[in-house]
Amino acid sequence: MTDGFSKAWRLIRNRTPRRALTLMTAMAFTASGAGHAAESNHPANQPANHYGQREEVQRFAEELAQRHGWDAQATLRTLSQARHLPRVAQLIMPPPAGTAKNWAAYRSRFVEPKRLKAGVEFWNENERLLRRAERHYGVPASLIVGIIGVETYYGRHLGGFRVLDALATLSFDFPSGRSDRSAFFRSELEALMVWARREGRAPQDIKGSYAGAIGWPQFMPSSILRHAVDFDGDGHINLERNMADVIGSVAHFLKAHGWTPGLPTHFAVDPPLDEAARAELLAPDIVPSFSAQEMASRGAVLNERALDHEGPLALVMLENGGAAPTYVAGTRNFYSVTRYNWSSYYALAVIELGREVQAHRAKTAAACGASTEAGRRPPNATPRTKGC
C-alpha cells in the first residue's frame, strides 16, 4: 500500500516486472511488487553483523529500548540480524524521467481475464467474510476484492524480501539521488519490531515487499499497528495467511480513511473545453473541492445523477500516453481509496477490477443457475455461485 504512483509508474514504464519496481513519489511505498523478491538476498558484500556494528544502529537500538522498555542489547541483537540488500536500494529509486503515464496500459495489467477469474474464486471462497466486513464497516465487497487483487493478485505476489533487511537497508543506507525517506523507514522498522513482539514472532522471519509492505493487503508495519484488525478474534493479526484478518483490515483501513457507505466513488464527466476553466478544476488534483454545480458552471458536462450529488467532486485526469486523457469526477469515496495508495490510477484500477469481478461473478452464477434449472432444481432456486 501507500504509494500508488510508484505502482502505476512501475507498471506503465516497464514491461519487465523486475525492472519495473521503482518508486515515483516521495510518499509511502507499496508492494504489489509481485514476484520480484526472489533475487533479493545475495549474500555477496554483506558482512555478518554489518548493521550491529554501526554506531547509528546502536543508537537506534538504544532509543527503541528506551521508548518501549525493551532490553537494549536484545534489541541490538535483533537489528544485527538485518542484512544490507543492494537490490532494495536500487528498487527504491525513481524511474527515469520522461515516460508518459498511460491509464489504459495500467488498467489492462489488472483488469484482465486471469485476474478476474482469480477474483471470482477469492470472492466465492470468502463470501461470508466479505459480507461480514461489508456489514461491519460499510465497505463494499467489490472494493475489498479490487484492492487485494491489485495489491497481490490474491496472494500470489506477496514479496519475498525479509522485511527486516529491506527496512534496515532503507533506514540506514537510503540511496542518494532521491529525496531522503530514511526517517520514514526507521519509523516503519520500529513499527515492525513492535508488531513482531506483540505477535511473538521474530522480525527476521517476516517477508514482504522491497519497501516492507506485508501480506495479502500489503500493509506497511505502521499501518498494521494503526489499522489492521483481528477480525476472527483469535488474538493475532496475520495478514499473510488469515483471510478474516486480511479482509477485515482492508475494510477497516478504508473506513478509517473516510469511506462513506452508499456514496458512489466517481461519475462520468466531460471536462471543460476552455483550457483555463479546465486548469482551474484540475488544480486541486484528487482532492474533492467543487460542487457538481460549480463544475458545471465552469463548463464540465455531468450527467443527471452526478448533478444530483451533494458532496464535493474532484476533476481527475488520467493520461493515456499520446492519446486523449480519461476524466472522472471523483467523490470523497474516490479520495478515500487513494489513501490506500496515493494515486488516481491505482484507485480507479481497484474500483474497476472490483466491479468487473462482481459482474463476472454474477454472470457465472447466472449461467450456473440456468444450467442447473434445466436439470433437477426448481425454477425459483437461488443460483449457486460455487462449484456449478
Separation between Cα atoms, residue 287 and residue 258, nearest integer Å = 13
Number of residues that bind Ca ion (CB under 5 A): 5
333 near 264, Cβ under 8 Å? Answer: yes
Of 190 and 245, CB closest to Ca ion: 245
Minimal distance, residue 258 CB to Ca ion, in Å: 25
CB-closest chain residue to Ca ion: 230
Residue whose cell numbers read 483550457 = 275
> What is each CA distance from 204 to 17, 90, 219, in whole angstroms?
26, 21, 17
Q: Report the nearest approach of Ca ion to the CB of residue 235 (Å).
A: 7
317 within 8 A of 329, measured Cβ to Cβ: no
Nearest approach in angstroms of CB 343 to Ca ion is 29
Residues 19-48 close enough to bind Ca ion by CB under 5 A: none
Question: Which CB atom, from 225 or from 301, has the smaller least distance to Ca ion?
Answer: 225
> Least distance to Ca ion from the beta carbon of 234, Å?
4
| Closest distance of CB 140 from Ca ion, Å | 22
Binding mask 296-335 for Ca ion (x = CB under 5 A): ----------------------------------------
Compare residues 255 and 361 and give the one whose CB is closer to Ca ion.
255
Query: Which residues ranging from 202 to 261 are in contact with Ca ion (CB under 5 A)?
Result: 230, 232, 234, 236, 245
Find residue 270's DSSP bridge partners.
Answer: 301
Q: Give catalytic status of residue 134 as yes or no.
A: no
Residue showing cell 522498555: 69
Q: What is the dihedral of CA 375, 378, 381, 385, to 10 degrees?
A: -10
- CB nearer to Ca ion: pick between 13 and 227: 227
Closer of 51 and 219 to Ca ion (Cβ)? 219
Quote the strand ranges of 206-313, DSSP E.
207-208, 266-270, 301-302
C-beta closer to Ca ion: residue 5 or 137: 137
Shortest approach of Ca ion to residue 243 CB, angstroms? 10
- Beta-bridge partners for 162: 207
Q: Is 199 in the site for Ca ion (CB under 5 A)?
A: no
**Residues between 130 and 149 that touch Ca ion (CB under 5 A):** none
Please answer whether residues 137 and 130 qualify as being in contact, where contact means their C-beta atoms are separated by less than 8 angstroms: no
Angle, alpha carbons 314-142-224 (nearest 5°): 85
* CA gyration radius, the chain: 23
| Rounded Cα gap, residues 112 and 119, in angstroms | 11
H or E stretch including 378?
Answer: none
Give the DSSP H or E segment for 326.
strand 323-330
Nearer to Ca ion, 237 or 347 (CB): 237
Q: 313 in helix, strand or coil?
A: strand
Three cell numbers, residue 318: 488520467
Minimum CB separation of residue 211 from Ca ion in Å reads 24
Picking from 286, 306, 311, the residue whose alpha carbon sits closest to that of residue 296 is 306
Give the whole-angstrom CA distance, residue 30 versus residue 10.
11
Which residue in the list 63, 127, 151, 319 is annotated as catalytic?
Answer: 151
Q: What residues are labeled active site?
A: 151
Binding site for Ca ion (CB under 5 A): 230, 232, 234, 236, 245
